[in-house]
Amino acid sequence: MDKVLEIQFSGWTATPRLPFVLSGNALCMPVPPYSTILGIIGCCLGRFISPDEVKVGFQYLYDTVSMDIETRRRLQFDGKKIKNHDKGSDAYIREFHTNPRLIVWIDRLDWKDYFESPVGTPALGRSQDLLQISKVCVKEVVSVSEAYLKGCMIPFDANLMIPGQLVQVAESYVEGEGIGSGRIPINPMMFVAIHGEGKGVHVSNSNLYQTQEEQPIDFYMHTFTI
């Protein structure tokens, strides 16, 4: 692979939620998971993206972590139907990121037109965390054995000492066949979420690349397990 399609996104806010936190404060992960990146790509193409269609690399940066208070509408099931909870709504504190910048690299150069005229409006987190596409271009890249990575997520390897936040998430999702059956998680696994500060973290891996430009960027290109 000597060329990739680079898509640059930016926004005002983003909420890459930390999974499995069901009470108390709503917390954010340092970076979005790969399933979210696939969702953003699928939104631009206007269809569900199967994980075997594309390889994905990304870099996610933001300015600050901020806090907000939101009202949450609580529901309950009375044995027959869903209705408003007897105790009414409640308020909770949630985290969000300000001024997010997301660069996505994919190996599908033939999808360029979709990002220049996206079918849907991409968002990172909630529906109000809208993203704009600021740049779409083809970049030349070279494979490297070592790189300085930041603002990304790589599979956990016990043999590598990589600083970051350990998270267990599904690599991707597929739609259930039945109506209303929801999504089915594919290959839940441990990842290391690498923060976006500073120069980055030194990593040795077989799927590392570097863009060929005046200020090159190192990134990890993820291949999904099917």
Q: What is the DSSP string of 36-68?
A: HHHHHHHHHHTSPPPGGG--EEEEEE-S-EEEE
How far, in Å, CA of 226 to CA of 224, rounded? 6
pLDDT tens per residue, range 142-188: 999 999 999 999 999 888 888 999 999 999 988 777 776 677 888 89
Task: Write out the two tokens for 182.
Answer: 């929801």
Torsion of CA 159, 161, 165, 169, to 10 degrees: -20
pLDDT score recorded for residue 79: 82
pLDDT score recorded for residue 149: 96
Query: Nearest 5°: phi and psi at 87?
Result: -90, 0
Answer whether 71's CB lies under 8 Å from 96's CB. no
What does the mean pLDDT of the chain come to?
90
pLDDT score recorded for residue 102: 98
Confidence of residue 137 (pLDDT cuts 50, 70, 90): very high
Centroid of chain to Cα 155: 14
C-alpha pair distances (Å), 36 with each of 58, 101, 158:
11, 15, 25
pLDDT tens per residue, range 60-78: 999 999 988 877 777 888 7
pLDDT score recorded for residue 88: 72
pLDDT score recorded for residue 23: 59
pLDDT at residue 21 tops 80: no
- Mean pLDDT on 7-36: 88
Count the neighbouring beta carbons within 10 Å of the beta carbon of residue 218: 21
How far, in Å, CA of 173 to CA of 39, rounded? 9
Torsion of CA 188, 218, 55, 48, to 10 degrees: 80
How far, in Å, CA of 151 to CA of 204, rounded? 16
pTM to 2 decimal places: 0.89
Residues with Cβ < 8 Å from 79, sequence gap 6 or more? none
Count the neighbouring beta carbons within 10 Å of the beta carbon of residue 126: 14
